[in-house]
Amino acid sequence: MVVPYGCPEPPHHRKQAFDVGEHGMGLMANSFRLGCNCKGAIQYLDGGISDQQGAPVVVKNAICIHEEDNGLLVKDTDFRDARSISARRLIISQIVTAANYDYGSYHTFTLDGTYKLRGQTANPYGTEVARGVIAHNHQHVFSLRIDPEIDGMKIEVRECDAIPLQYTDDSKTNPYGDGFFCQQRAVEGDLLCLVED
């Protein structure tokens, strides 16, 4: 993450903060507290990191895993026992504090296989580091690469298109013209992943 200030006046003309890289995101991780940062069914995980001298450090409750209601993605009521299934989404989050700013990252997984990453400046204005110091115009730019290798190196994304069955006078395979089949094709090239702020 880079924070360019875009101000030609000294001392801001030399400012270009790299909050995450310069300070170390793991070292700045917050410890979540029940009822303060996450809601719903919650599981906290401790973060195992190393300090600036390489010694092991444990940050208690550094990661929050919780479920949220996500409307109705799938609804199936079984007439035999009246059970129903509604949609939930799984969120894995972390909040770090870099100097006078708080940054949140939220990895969201939904039941349709969608993954979304949201980066958020939890404290968009920051707190004053020193009285009389004004931050001028600046922007928080998040950038990262996600390389999950879920199924190994040969992972691919496929599109499935509905292709109508052809009807000819001498063929009885689709006499009413409503037949179709699924044609799959691998998506080539890089997939674009946007981080919302």
Backbone angles phi, psi at 27, to 5 degrees: -65, -20
**Residue 28 tokens, joined:** 């700045």
Q: What's the count of helices (H) and strands (E) in the chain, helices before strands?
A: 1, 9
Catalytic residues: 19, 101
Helix ranges restricted to H, the chain: 19-23
Question: How far is it, in rounded angstroms, from Cα 20 to Cα 96?
Answer: 9
**Residue 100 tokens, joined:** 């006078």
